[in-house]
Amino acid sequence: MINKQPIISHRVRKIDGSFAWISHRFLRMGFWGSSTHHELLLYMFLVMAADRQGISYYSFDKICSLVSITPDEYILARNDLIDKNLIAFDDRLFQVLSLPREITFCDQILAGKKDMEQHDSATIHQMIKKSLRGKND
């Protein structure tokens, strides 16, 4: 049997102010292994930024800056996390959801490329940027 005593007993973690935590099921049930590097970065950021209900409201450009990913990487990671039923997003707020029983794919408030192109500020921003780059060439 492994001795599970803290190595440094006066430095045991505790909830102190904010409420960031990740269920061990995230690793054990395969959510970690099925996620890309960018999905993990975004998910971990959203977990740390969220309140007790899993809600956070950072803008996409602030997230990209803090997490060091491009807007395209952000959009792809965000959409994949939505598809995996790990987060919800309404173009204003994020909600980190309780973990589903298994890795699933479901419809969310904004689902699919057409919804994102019409209602998601980050996707619209990228479309405009790409359009303007094309005109300058």
pLDDT per residue over 68-113, tens digit each?
999 999 999 999 999 999 999 998 999 999 998 877 654 445 556 6
Residue 124 half-sphere exposure toward CB, CA atoms < 13 A: 7
- Any domain includes 4: no
Does the global pTM surpass 0.75? Answer: no
CATH for 41? 1.10.10.10
Model confidence at 21, pLDDT cuts 50, 70, 90, reads: confident
- Any domain includes 16: no
- Any domain includes 1: no
Q: What is the pLDDT of residue 127?
A: 76
Closest CA to 115 of 90, 86, 80: 90
Give me the phi and psi of 101, to 5 degrees please: -60, -30
Q: Flag whether pLDDT at 18 surpasses 60.
A: yes
- The total number of structural domains that make up the chain: 1
Question: What domain range is 32 assigned to?
Answer: 23-136
3-state secondary structure at position 64: helix
- Any domain includes 28: yes
**Letter for the amino acid at 66?**
L
- Any domain includes 10: no
Predicted confidence (pLDDT) per residue in 30-83, tens digit: 889 889 999 999 999 999 999 888 999 999 999 999 999 999 999 999 999 999
- Any domain includes 18: no
- Any domain includes 8: no
- Any domain includes 17: no
Adjacent-strand bridge partners of 88: 95
Q: What does 20-38 look like in DSSP terms, one character per residue?
A: ----THHHHTTTTTTS-HH
